[in-house]
Amino acid sequence: MKSLLPPKGTPEFEAEVSFYLNSDAATRQQRAISLGFSNPSSYTIAMEREGVFLSRAVPKSMSRRYDNPPVIKEPCLIIFDTQIPYQDADFVNNLLELASAWGIKQGISGGDLLNMAAFSIFKENPEDKIWKRERDVAIEVLRALHSHIPKWMLILGNHEAFLIKTLAQQIGYDDILALLGKPKGFVATDYYYCLVKLGGSVWRITHPRNVSVIGARVPYFLASKFGANIISGHGHLAGSVKSIGGDFEAIDAGITCDPQRLDYYALRDSTRPAMSQGAVILRMGKDNKPHSYILTPSIDWEAYKGMY
């Protein structure tokens, strides 16, 4: 088949190449017609057969960006590591009553609300691996949470991820809520964190990958990394420090489960620090500034209720 391009190696071909590489799409289209090509793409194909390629931009990735975490813009109660059915009912009930007394309408579970022993990667006791039993308790606990605080954001923890990973990521946290009857007032996310924006401050509520034997060590590093206040769980410790420079708070919130109900903790000694119970309320203070209130089982609950 006769080529519509000048012979390669001739001055005419070099001139054609120069024109092709330096013209815009509309001009190349007109040139293709003038040379006798049926369409512009045929002109392009002919050039590429001669080893001449237009400079092209790298195509945009079609993969999802994970840059849209949930954002909450109101005061909230934040709990971590409740690990139903091992919740500390007395502690959680005190937290709910205090939050209700303070007018808190938003709750956040910062991961591991459920224990999910039936799908655990660890070798659990057989009697703990009965999903229906855990589900029934979870439904009752969620109803109690909602009766005090009408709205809840559930971020993902490694325990909820047991089921998600067992099913090869074919479900999300919303699907786990569906297994619990889609309880009213609860919203779930597949992010392991959410953001609270309150009074001009940003708080990252996170169930991080890392743990430490030093309380507040993980949120301390995260505060510097993300340039935000950090409230974290997962490590089962409690503590609070300031970030480098003192610009942000770094809080290990503690757990709301009962550690004496966790066999791996209560039946065998280890050199890890004792698990610490705790939770946090974020709200505007009487000074019209955002404050974090770190709550432990030993606080004077009645005195705290009178603060607001």
pTM: 0.83
Question: CA torsion angle for 203, 204, 207, 210 (degrees, to 10)?
Answer: -110
Element (H, E) at 25: helix 25-35
Sheet holding 290-295, edge to edge: 186-188, 151-154, 106-109, 76-79, 279-284, 290-295
User: Is 58 inside a domain boundary?
Assistant: no
Question: Omega of the bond prior to 85 within 30 degrees of 0, cis?
Answer: yes
Q: Map tokens 């203070």 to a residue.
A: 285
User: Is 199 inside a domain boundary?
Assistant: yes
Number of domains in the chain: 2
Contact of 99 with 276, CB cutoff 8 Å? no
**Same-domain check for residues 40 and 143:** no
Q: What is the CATH number of the domain that holds 106?
A: 3.60.21.10
User: Is 238 inside a domain boundary?
Assistant: yes
**Same-domain check for residues 87 and 26:** no
> Radius of gyration of the chain from Cα atoms?
29
Q: Across the chain, how many H-helices and E-strands are there?
A: 10, 12
pLDDT average per 10 residues of sequence, the chain (308 residues): 85 92 91 90 91 86 94 98 98 98 98 93 82 95 98 97 93 95 96 97 97 96 96 96 93 98 93 97 94 97 94
Q: How does DSSP assign 238-275, residue by residue?
A: EEEEEPGGG-SEEEEE-BSB-GGG-HHHHSS--SSPPP
Task: State residue 40's pLDDT score.
Answer: 85
Task: Report which DSSP code applies to 73.
Answer: -
Task: State residue 122's pLDDT score.
Answer: 83
**Same-domain check for residues 124 and 158:** yes
Task: State residue 253's pLDDT score.
Answer: 98
**Same-domain check for residues 184 and 289:** yes
Task: State residue 1's pLDDT score.
Answer: 55
Single out the residue of 133, 116, 113, 112 nearest to residue 167, CA to CA.
116
